[in-house]
Amino acid sequence: MTQAIPIDSAYRPLAEPILVAYLTTIPAVVEILGGAPAEWSVREVGDGNLNLVFIVKGGRGGVAVKQALPYVRLVGESWPSPLSRAHFEHLALTEQARLAPGVPPRVHHYDAAMALIVMELLEPHLIMRRGMITAIVHPEFPRHIAQFMARTLYFTSDLALRAAEKKQRIAAFTGNFALCKITEDLIFTEPYMLAANNRWTSPELDDIAAAFREDLDLHVAISRLKLAFMRAPEAMIHGDLHTGSIMVTSTETRVIDPEFAFYGPMGFDVGAVIANLLLNFFAQAGHESQKGERDAYRAWVLQSVRDVWTLFRAEFLRLWRENPTGDAYPLALFAGARGAARLEVERQVFLDRLLVDTLGFAGAKMIRRILGLAHNLDLESIADRGRRAAPANDPPCSSRANSSWRPRASPASTTLRTARSNPEIVAERISLSAMPGENEAPWAPSSSS
């Protein structure tokens, strides 16, 4: 993390008015914005962890400008980060637009030296996370995101691609290792140890954080997931598909910010979506002014978890049946009615395994948002710490030899308990359509530290 990253000599971080002068040199952007450049308005709106993001509006229209900084914005210049992430984001946006047209923002201009992408301004779209915090229902979301994931994951997998093509595509993203390393550290390692980056609602969650640092079964589970993330180039994944990377209206779902894209395990993307829905589900209690006020919304969120998976599974299977163009599962080995029936069974087994991976990654992603560096607004915006986190008067770890101890219900502690559960058991529950209510604890692990 301390290694200096070489910077192109043409690179300079843009701010108004340099940004306006820069944009006037790009005819396509001048045409979109319209009017006199002196009248263009520029607003820096980046609320993510890494980059600068500007909204520029002219007499006719607007654009979004995203520029990578040579460091991690959330932490500062002490944590260098390569500008090449803009290249991988541009590559992923291009691929996603081909595979799922209309879902990523249109790219108007890409400048590698400036690590900058000028893209479609998504208006009146809302960052989905913000909408969910205020309990906005997005009825089309499960179907849209399921289709996006099914298409981008299926068509970049060995099920659809010839082996040579797949390997070339893996190679094209291999250089994005620095962003992978962020994920490897922040999701799969640091929440389970004492690390300078970590923070949690303290002292309320001190005991549960300590329990996670001591739970070796959990350390094995998270290490298996980390290994899968590092060694399973199954498909081109978005790599950071949380609800802050999704923008919605009542009829549209758009996916932004694929700078973490690389060839990795499919379940990492599906798990990210499910994790962020569940984080919001558990956070809802903290946003109620009256108990039960958000029950209907909670029910929609939970139904969306089921729908995302069910629709994704159906669409992925349909794509596989209709486009068996890859080198995996050669059709010559599954000829005739007997072969076709056997291959269909195998397709179901493939999706069953993917659900287990998905739930494991979902758990990992929920845990990191509560115990690691980068938190999310669903829980963070619950101002009342007592409502956000477990009460401080739970007994300390040392007095919990009795395995029947459970932290009291609260959004953060219930989320952590759920995330720690065994994905195989949860997968079975989902296939039985038996999702728990918020205050029940059927997903709690059978033993506790």
CB of 49 to Mg ion, least distance (A): 7
Which CB atom, from 48 or from 286, has the smaller least distance to ligand SR1? 48
Query: By C-beta, is 257 or 357 nearer to Mg ion?
Result: 257
Task: From the list ligand SR1, Mg ion, none, pick the one residue 89 interacts with, judged by a Cβ distance below 5 to 8 Å according to partner type.
Answer: none
Q: How far is the CB of 240 from Mg ion (least distance, A)?
A: 5
- Give the Å distances, CA to CA, from 384 to 35, 57, 292, 387: 47, 38, 18, 5
The nearer residue to ligand SR1, 144 or 365, going by C-beta atoms, is: 365
Tokens for 302?
């939970």
For the bound state, the minimum distance from the C-beta of residue 272 to ligand SR1, rounded and expressed in Å, comes to 9
| Closest alpha carbon to 79 in 87, 71, 89, 91 | 71
Residue with tokens 């994920």: 183
The DSSP result for 276-344, as a single string, is: HHHHHHHHHHHH-SSTTTTHHHHHHHHHHHHHHHHHHHHHHHHHHHH---SSSS-GGGG-HHHHHHHHH
Helices (H), 336-397: 336-371, 377-380, 385-388
Stretch of 44-52, 86-94, 276-284, 380-388 lying at the interface with Mg ion (CB under 5 A):
44-52
- Binding residue (CB under 5 A) for Mg ion from 215, 257, 269, 394: 257
Of 48, 267, 271, 326, the residue at the interface with Mg ion (CB under 5 A) is 48
- Contacts to ligand SR1 by CB under 6 A: 48-50, 72, 74, 182-183, 186, 240, 373-374
> Which of 143, 78, 81 shows the shortest CA–CA distance to 313?
143
Q: Give residue for tokens 């790599």.
A: 239
Answer yes or no: are the C-beta atoms of 370 and 282 closer than 8 Å: no
Question: What is the distance between the terminal CA atoms of the chain, rounded to a whole angstrom?
Answer: 33
Minimum CB distance to ligand SR1, residue 184 (Å): 10
Helix (H, G, I), strand (E, B) or coil at 409: coil
Shortest distance in whole angstroms from residue 375 CB to ligand SR1 = 10
Residues in contact with Mg ion, counted by CB under 5 A, come to a total of 2
269 binds Mg ion (CB under 5 A): no
Q: Which does 161 bind (CB under 5 to 8 A by kind): ligand SR1, Mg ion, none?
A: none
374 binds, among Mg ion, ligand SR1, none (CB under 5 to 8 A by kind): ligand SR1
Task: Report the C-alpha gap between 63 and 121 in whole angstroms.
Answer: 5
Site residues (vs Mg ion, CB under 5 A): 48, 257
